[in-house]
Structure 1
Amino acid sequence: MIDVYSWATPNGHKVHIMLEETGLDYRVHPIDIGAGDQFKPDFLQISPNNKIPAIVDPDGPGGQPISLFESGAILIYLAEKTGRFLPADPLARYATLQWLMFQMGGIGPMLGQAHHFRLYAPEKIGYAIDRYTNEARRLYNVMETKLGETEYLAGDAYTIADIATFPWTRSWQNQGIALDELPNVKRWHEAIAARPAVQRGVDVLAAQRKALQDDAKAREVLFGATQYAKH
């Protein structure tokens, strides 16, 4: 039984979806990031960067327990544990890993900044809104070109690259994106959204999450002095 320490965010959804897709047994421990659970000592022992998700697998490599943080590392671990969604063929494997890194280094950070400045920042800063909205559009256009060539991001097979990227594209409207203008991305997005395991994965902890726009305390915890204090 894998213990998952998570919350209903795009990065959390990645791991929830992967666990549902692989059929591994797991138990969810809510880490309410708006309430500051990510700064508790027990969680920091597992995730020293105070970010969700993190996992503890008592049956890790060689039968030894393992704990992991960083969603991309967790996806690779679960793929290797189950032999699914990360091809064994070297060319296909590296194609998958490069698109996973595209998500980790581009899609996640840049779309996250677009969300912040468009929705959550205490003041509207035009330069920041334009910068990150334009970068979001650029990244979507990269996907649009690729998905015009192949069914999925890394080729014609559904992989951890798609599992990592899809949750970030669920909020395309908040990022200033018109999905109808990106027919290849829209086709890919709708195909993944229709998968039963994906639907179960995005539902994990969803009922417990509150809208940040309505929660001043949570915004302070996530974006204010609490985030940068030594814990």
Structure 2
Amino acid sequence: MNDIPECLIPHVKGGGSLTALPVIETVAGDLGGFIPTNVISITNAQIYLESNLFNAGISPEINVGLSQSRVGGNAQIKSMTKVAQTIKIDHAQYREIEAFLKLGSDIDSSNKLVLDKGSRNVELLKQDERSPIKVKNHVAVLFAGTRGLLNKIPKNKIAEFETAYLYELRLKFPEILISIKNGIYDDTISSTLESKSCCHSKKIKVLQSNS
């Protein structure tokens, strides 16, 4: 807080300051040619947005593999850190296999699982404009995605699952969401989330097969 004027110190909670928020446009997506050393040195993170993702209906259009943070999980609540610790690796593997598919390559059953899991996680990460998902809700849905509990649900039914799943958690298990919000994640929470995820997943699969 040394760089904050004394008159503002009483109004600052937790100290620190935002020194810069640079926005840089790449040329044809060339990352190697645009990041000056001074930009790296004054920022704690780089969020890489891709027009291809935006055009594919993915919003926010963040490239998870190329975006970086020096702070990392330290900026997250502990429950999010525990639930989402594999999502970046999962996403990178998904994008790699997806690229192979575009070349007409065949994939085996293990890669098919990675592809199914990654495509569902992409749906879970989507957020409507000006309607950000609350962190406690995001932890709950990412739990289902990162554990592959949604692999059998069609991608176009993921939003339906999310709505029904979160509705039941808010209605019947509000204490679970409160604990998640406070950073708590234990076996009881994990067991409840898994049970409710599987329950709603099965319901959608049954409805899909009967339609």
**If each structure's helix is expressed as a fraction of its own residues, which one has the higher value?**
1
**If each structure's strand is expressed as a fraction of its own residues, which one has the higher value?**
1
Give the TM-score taking structure 1 as reference length. 0.32
Higher RCO structure (Cα 8 Å, ≥6 apart):
1
Give the TM-score taking structure 2 as reference length. 0.35
